[in-house]
Amino acid sequence: MTVSRRTLLISGALAAGAVALPISRPRPAMASADGSWLADAVMYQIYPQTFADSDGSGVGDLQGIIDHLDHLQWLGVTAVWMNPIFPSPLTDAGYDVSDYVGVHERYGTQDDVARLVDEARRRGIRILFDLVAGHTSDQHPWFLNSLQDFSDDRFIWATPDQFPNGELPENFVASPGPREGAFLKNFYDTQPAINYGYARMNPDEPWREPIDAEGPKRNREAMREVMDHWLKLGVSGFRCDMAGSLIKDDPDLVETGKLWGEMAAWLDDNHPDAVLVSEWGDPKVAVPAGFDGDFFFQTGDAWKSLWQDNPYFGADGTGTAKIFIDAWREAEDAIGRPGGVILPSANHDTALRLNNGVRTPEEIPAVYAFWLTWPIVPLIYYGEEIGMRLIDGLPDVEGSDGRQNNRTPMQWNTDPNAGFSTAPAEKLYLPQDPDPNRPDVATQRDDPGSLLNLVQRLIALRQSQPELGIGADVQVFHDGYPLTYLRGNRFLVAVNPSRNPVSVTVPDDRLAGAVPVEDSGVTISGQDIAVPAFGYAVLDLGS
């Protein structure tokens, strides 16, 4: 019997707890057939509405993504996560799904999806879709049927006689149709929570069903059918939205973890090359539960300590990298293998761009010197590779609720609308960055000293040198300023994101003969390295 890596991880974590972190040569990103390709991936997030508009509608589409795959290939991207493109009334920018196996007409067709995954694969890039498994739109046929059929248990309904004191229970929304009572929402009022059951029963809430009731079992099967549909079209896996929200009243998310473990086991049997990435925010729990990877993201201390709230990557130089390093080590030890921790800098939600109005463009190169040489799976949000700005004061669009400042159109060149669309500016999904000096891909591509070219070189270096890959060890010499560490006993990295020059002593006799691979002006004297303001270096110490 063949046992997959993911199945071994789940069973091993349950049986023995954390195991030693292996050190191994990274695998080629497209080579593995057991789902482990994610560990070596360089990920890129595309917000389809604002990435590239091919038809002049003012809204990005699938053909626009296809037209720019060469950019992603040149950059070194090997996996793309796309936000939802499914039919939707767009009260939450597509996270209110009305058809899980369709494509919204503004993006294209299922044939376009097939062409996208084919063209991406030809360039060594895999496509991951968003799986919004916890809720639908209130316009989904499942919910519309549930409004008519009082016995339908696909969603969580409370009848009027179950309301305490005649008031709606918390997070319940009054029925908009013939069915009396109210339904549980997952986020917005237009997003009824799918019924996966409750981990615990409560006599005060008689609407609760156990996780093995018929409704929850039917919904798990339905999600497997959704995944099967897209995987057969060539999609390589899913980023699972609000992954911890499925089973309700689930202390420590134990039952939710078991549910995803079942999903992962089904994938192993039916689509062993596919991956699951969770929006969980705790890799040390999510990955042993069955996910291939999980994010450090904006609600956690590990992420905030780098990018926000007195961040390490701040010009004042008052942060610490120790919080991140400790969280990363704890996660890697719990997972028992490298490659389960995904680190974004920004996203479509509330994780602000690197160029956030506080951090300046001159500070960003040092970020990438760290980000692309640390043994995590990097996730680049579209436009971060050129330092796109956070833009405040934009109109709310499709339930963005203040999150639109991270969603402005991609800046491709110096043409009108920065090459995003030929539509009149007033018809764009969101206004373009009004700064006449806004960064763009074409201009930076032609400038060897640009951020874009630095990012491309660092990705190429990471992919060509096993010592900088996900499996090689890391030895930290200093977690203050400059952050200084050795990868694979060969490459020394020093990063100073502060405005003040700093220095560090590295106890390695090879330092005197170090060869700079990427260097912003560091100086070496004996075992001392002096790093200028906002400086960085990747030094080859040899064997």
Q: What's the pLDDT score for residue 17?
A: 30
- Check: CB of residue 522 under 8 Å from CB of residue 531: yes
Q: What's the pLDDT score for residue 441?
A: 98
CA–CA dist 418, 309 (Å, integer): 32
- Token digits for 330? 């704890």
Helix (H) or strand (E) holding 444: helix 441-445
Q: What's the pLDDT score for residue 164?
A: 81
> DSSP E strands: which ranges in 306-402?
341-344, 377-381
- Check: CB of residue 21 under 8 Å from CB of residue 332: yes
From first to last of the 543 residues of the chain, give the pLDDT tens digit. 333 445 444 433 333 232 222 222 232 333 333 337 999 999 999 999 999 999 999 999 999 999 999 999 999 999 999 999 999 999 999 999 999 999 999 999 999 999 999 999 999 999 999 999 999 999 999 999 999 999 999 999 999 999 988 899 999 999 999 999 999 999 999 999 999 999 999 999 999 999 999 999 999 999 999 999 999 999 999 999 999 999 999 999 999 999 999 999 999 999 999 999 999 999 999 999 999 999 998 889 999 999 998 999 999 999 999 999 999 999 999 999 999 999 999 999 999 999 999 999 999 999 999 999 999 999 999 999 999 999 999 999 999 999 999 999 999 999 999 999 999 999 999 999 999 999 999 999 999 999 999 999 999 999 999 999 999 999 999 999 999 999 999 999 999 999 999 999 999 999 999 999 999 999 999 999 999 999 999 999 997
CA–CA dist 531, 501 (Å, integer): 6
- Token digits for 99? 């058809």
Find residue 1's DSSP bridge partners.
none
Kindly provide the b/e burial profile for residues 337-357, where b requires at least 16 CB atoms within 10 angstroms of the residue's own CB.
Answer: bbbbbbbbbbbbbebbbbbbe
Q: What's the pLDDT score for residue 165?
A: 84
93 class by beta-carbon count within 10 Å (0-12 exposed, 13-18 middle, 19+ buried): buried
Task: Name the pTM for this structure.
Answer: 0.93
CA–CA dist 316, 435 (Å, integer): 26
Q: What's the pLDDT score for residue 157?
A: 98
CB atoms within 10 A of CB 434: 10
CA–CA dist 479, 473 (Å, integer): 16
Q: Which of 284, 386, 366 is nearest to 321 (CA)?
A: 366
CA–CA dist 348, 376 (Å, integer): 20
Give all domains of the chain, ordered by start, each with its CATH number. Answer: 42-53+66-81+297-463 (3.20.20.80), 135-193 (3.90.400.10), 473-540 (2.60.40.1180)
- Check: CB of residue 28 under 8 Å from CB of residue 466: no
Q: What's the pLDDT score for residue 8?
A: 42
Residue that is written with structure tokens 């800098």 in the block:
345
